Amino acid sequence: MPNASIYYQQREPSPLQQIWLHMSANPFALAALYTLALLLLMMVCSAWLTPFSPDQQFADSISQPPSWHEQGQIRFLFGTDDLGRDLLSRIMAGSVYSLGYPLLAVVIAALIGIPIGAWAGMSRGVQSSALNHFLDVINSIPSLLLALLVIAILGPALQNVMLAIVVVLIPQFIHSVHSAIYDERYQDYVMASRLNGCSRWYILTRVIFPNITAPLVMQVTLALSTAIFDIAALGFLGLGVQAPAPEWGTMLARSLEHVYLSPWTMILPGFALFLTLLSINVLGDSIRAAIQERVRSA
């Protein structure tokens, strides 16, 4: 395309814009983004969108196959489960438990973890190295194991699961912010603004922070995928959200007994979980790839 302005000067896009440019060039990343947006929309509007109440039992149509099956009915698009509850409504309503609550947990954990991580990253000396080792240890213990520990103390219930997930995610946030800051704070440009006499607060918020947004975004997607998986896994093990609630993991656990008769009660909630995790992972992965691409081309 010929350029209209004669005194044309190429403007370098800002780092975040560059990452966005790299990402929007990738069709899979965009598809994942839109899928996630749709899922979020569905989650927010699930109370109005569900065709039936998720707990309503239809005694006349128990274990109804999905509508594309020969014996299916269009009334129950995804069929019904062994108690005659509409699967579509349950999956939609379940997104609140399986996507909404993890999202909430991630936000809370980020609000607590990021400031602590920033403080830890700016500290130095023995304090910093002890903290580093401690965080390494916590991070090497799988999050599910820690969540199990919290559940074992408090007993299975929705609020305890939330507490467990938040408690598990906080060290992850601290660790990633800490190491991101740790990597940046010895760079020459930070040294330069230190020599300029900037305060530590200014250096943290104005100098270092813009440079660690990308790893932070990545950590958020990672934490979200961990939270969704852990809540579903706890539900599946019967230690999370308790039975009548339409949580996807709980639904999967329930389907275990009659998977031979009605496999769709297992396949469909699992697929919803898979789709959610896939779109988040693809998004996180393409953000990581875009960051790498930007660093490489710089």
Partner 1 sequence: MIRYSIRRLLLLLITLWLLTVLMFVLHHLFPGDTLTNMSGIRQSDGVAYQQAQQHYAMPQSWLSQYWQFFLHLLHGDWGQSLVTQRGVFADIMPQLGATLELTIMAMTLSLVIGVPMGMYAAVQQRGPLDRVIMGVSLSAYSIPAFWLAQLALLLFAVKLGWAPISGQLNPLFNITPVTGSVIIDILLSDSPYRGAALKDALQHLWLPVLVLSSIPLTMLIRITRNATLDVLQQNYLRAARSRGLSESRIMVKHVMPNAMQVIVRQLGLQFSLLMSNIIIIETIFNWPGIGSSLIKSIYERDYPVMLGGLFTLAALILLVNVAVELYHAWRYPQVRKELYAER
Partner 2 sequence: MNILDIRNLTIEIDGDNGPIRLVDKLSLQIAEGEIHTLVGESGSGKSLLAKAILGFINPRWRVTADRLWWRHYDLLALNPEQRRVVTGRDMAMIFQNPGSYLDPNASIGAQLQECIPSGDLKGLYLRRRADRKTRAERLLHRVGIKDHDAVMQAYPFELSDGVAQKVSIAMAIAHNPKLLIADEPTTAMEPQTRSQIYRLLSKLNASQGMSVLMITQDLTAIMPETKRISMVYCGQLMEVGTPQQLLEQPLHPYTEAMLSMSLANHNTPVKTRLPTLGGSIPTMANLPIGCRLGPRCQHARRACIDTPRLRKLKQHQFACHYPLIEVKNYD
Q: Considering CB distances under 5 to 8 angstroms, the limit depending on partner class, which of partner 2, partner 1, none binds residue 243? A: none
Give the whole-angstrom CA distance, residue 272 versus residue 128. 42
Q: Is 168 in the site for partner 1 (CB under 8 A)?
A: no
Q: Is 237 in the site for partner 1 (CB under 8 A)?
A: yes
Q: Considering CB distances under 5 to 8 angstroms, the limit depending on partner class, which of partner 2, partner 1, none binds residue 153? A: partner 1
Interface residue with partner 1, options 33, 83, 163, 277 (CB under 8 A): 277
Give the whole-angstrom CA distance, residue 20 versus residue 291. 9
38: Cβ contacts below 8 Å, ≥ 6 apart: none
Joined together, the tokens standing for residue 285 give 């992965």
Residue 179 DSSP SS3 = helix
Q: Is 8 in the site for partner 2 (CB under 8 A)?
A: yes
Q: Considering CB distances under 5 to 8 angstroms, the limit depending on partner class, which of partner 2, partner 1, none binds residue 8? A: partner 2
Q: What one-letter code names the amino acid at 90?
A: R
Residue count, binding to partner 1 (CB under 8 A): 42
| Residues paired with residue 27 on neighbouring β-strands, in sequence order | none
Q: Is 5 in the site for partner 2 (CB under 8 A)?
A: no
Residue 248 DSSP SS3 = helix
Q: Considering CB distances under 5 to 8 angstroms, the limit depending on partner class, which of partner 1, partner 2, none binds residue 212? A: none
Q: Return the biggest CA–CA distance within the chain.
A: 77
Q: Which is nearer to partner 1, 116 or 267 (CB)?
A: 267
Stretch that binds partner 1, among 9-17, 45-53, 57-65, 152-160 (CB under 8 A): 152-160
Q: Considering CB distances under 5 to 8 angstroms, the limit depending on partner class, which of partner 1, partner 2, none binds residue 270? A: partner 1
Q: Is 273 in the site for partner 1 (CB under 8 A)?
A: yes
Q: Compute and round to an integer the Cα radius of gyration of the chain.
A: 23
10 Å Cβ neighbour count for 37? 11
